[in-house]
Chain A
């Protein structure tokens, strides 16, 4: 479970995230949408404990990120859009390093690591330096590292970047299976089809504020946009470009 209470982040006079209140329950896959610069990544980086909020509260499975950061972080797996890896470590060394940071060592880690590397078809590459990995392989490695300590909550930023169609399908199935087992997934993406297909609830953020949140039906009802698809709904809420404006530009 993720609970955000009056979460705010300011950089000087600029407010990147403005008093967000949001609860993502156990067994829920939540799609976090918004245009570029809306505050999605800032919010996710605060949830992951990378950034400190200016004010407000973040709870991960009941643990307060400010008061109990170590406990809260140990319940969380974060998958960034750009893999945080070290080129001069091998895949196996990187995973062992991450496991050690989560306080896990020994045979159990080796077993879990082999299991994940098999799952992501990286076994034959595990002793190669990460610098020789493709972007997709790096993404798979970072996903493996996020799952290594068996988190209860996964926060994921643009998960499909760099993955081939097979990898994308696998990841979708993985997230669904994770939430069906009682996990929580907060996923930020611009791929609206995937959100419609996968997410139990969505939230749309713009200008640092949550414009709407709920199931697709609830969001449609809240915004009085009838039976429109997510793309139209998103563009109407966030001020997307109209066909007439496009014609003007292309003239």
Chain B
């Protein structure tokens, strides 16, 4: 088990090092998130819908699309020079390979969210105050789930001709449940309600994580071997 975790961390560290040297995906995801927030900011009519009611949806729509942009990179670095074949011939199980890729993607998407959140606060003038710990927990739980699915799908589509197009088509339906619950949890938090009121939503997100991380680990081997 310790060996598996160490190997997964080695794989994730390599991915993050390569990404931070290119910065293309991180920058494009961050710029994309900023653009979406700007568009929403200027398109909304504050007299029609209260900012506090609209803000959670805007935040999660932005996070969802920026995450797809970010996750597209997961296997494209491996496609160059057929580097993924190099990983497949290493004495590392497919499950550990998945875990390494998953960890790198998770850190990467969380970074994109860390850039998005202050921009969101800036554009929507939403005071996070005591909602911040709950919101961060929601972001972690929701992201952990859809990144698990996204990692499998990005491995699946990377060899196809339209990988960048295929990933959102496949992934977005699976992102709907965690996004709905993330919005449901975030709304009361933004309204200043206590964390105890959203426990059911957080529980659903945790359940989704367990189910889809397990399923993704099991499916990954079949995806990369065919």
Contacts and interface: CB of A to CB of B under 8 A. Distances in A.
A170 interface: no
Interface in A110-165: 129
Contacts of B45: none
Contacts of B14: 86, 89, 97
Contacts of A89: 14, 17-18
A101 B81 contact: no
Given A50-B85, A88-B18, A73 B90 contact: yes
The size class of the interface chain A forms with chain B is 20 to 34
Nearest to A75: B91
Contacts of A98: 86, 90
B10 A100 contact: yes
Given A93-B17, A100-B7, A101-B7, A84 B92 contact: no
A86 B91 contact: no
B89 A86 contact: no
A35 interface: no
B86 A84 contact: yes
A138 B226 CA distance: 28
Contacts of A84: 81-86
Contact of B91 (A52, A70, A82): A70
A59 to B, nearest CB: 15
Contacts of B93: 69-70
The size class of the interface chain B forms with chain A is 20 to 34
A69 B14 CA distance: 23
A237 interface: no
A83 interface: yes
Contact of B88 (A49, A70, A74, A88): A49
A88 to B, nearest CB: 4
Contacts of B10: 97, 100-101
Contact of A88 (B3, B21, B92): B21
A69 B22 CA distance: 33
A69 B77 CA distance: 25
Contacts of A86: 14, 18, 77, 80-81, 83
Contact of A74 (B7, B22, B85, B91): B91
A98 B92 CA distance: 11
B21 A102 contact: no
Given A84-B81, A84-B85, A101 B17 contact: no
B91 A103 contact: yes
A73 B87 CA distance: 11
Contacts of B89: 48-50, 73, 76, 78
The 6 closest A-B pairs by CB, nearest first: A84-B86, A73-B91, A101-B90, A88-B21, A74-B91, A70-B91
A71 B92 CA distance: 10
A142 B55 CA distance: 51
A27 interface: no
A10 B10 CA distance: 34
A203 B83 CA distance: 29
A177 B195 CA distance: 68
